[in-house]
Amino acid sequence: MFLVETDYPKAIRIEALNQQLDGTTVEEIEKDAKVEMETYLRVKFNTTAIFSAVGENRHRDIVRIMIDLVLYYVSLRISPKQVQETRLTQYNKGIKWLKEVRDGDLTPDLPKYMTEDNETKPSSFRFTSKQPPHDMFF
């Protein structure tokens, strides 16, 4: 997996979390968090390269956000009606960061998505304008 046990805060023990989860493991929840992150990052970045990195080669923001998403999902599964405010806040910050990266407002040093011709994928940019109204009386 992308995350290792030492990535989690010291106060969080994976064995304890696994015991509280109803048949689900933290590894399964990590997969869910990865899928959610990929939906934002896949537009511009090589998610296979991002999530296959190990050790110090992993992007610190990606690790941090994935931990926040995992802990939020764990909180939801343990007590859906009593998710800690901290978990919800960190989850929302992580999603905000992912959206800003997707939209180009932030530019982290992540491997770019490459086309088959080994060129970076063009950004999805479009021009739009409001059509002028057509008045039939003039």
Mean pLDDT by 10 residues, the chain (138 residues): 86 77 84 97 94 96 96 88 91 98 94 73 54 62
Alpha-carbon distance 38 to 46, whole Å? 9
Rg (alpha carbons) of the chain, rounded to whole number: 20
3-state helix, strand, coil in the chain (%, to 5): 55, 5, 45
Task: State the Cα torsion 19-23-24-26 to the nearest 10°.
Answer: 20
pLDDT (0 to 100) of residue 23? 72
**Dihedrals phi, psi of 120, to nearest 5 degrees:** -65, 145
pLDDT value at residue 26: 86
User: How far apart are alpha carbons 20 and 18 in whole angstroms?
Assistant: 5
Residue 105 DSSP label: S
In this prediction the pTM is 0.79
Instruction: Specify the pLDDT at position 123.
Output: 52
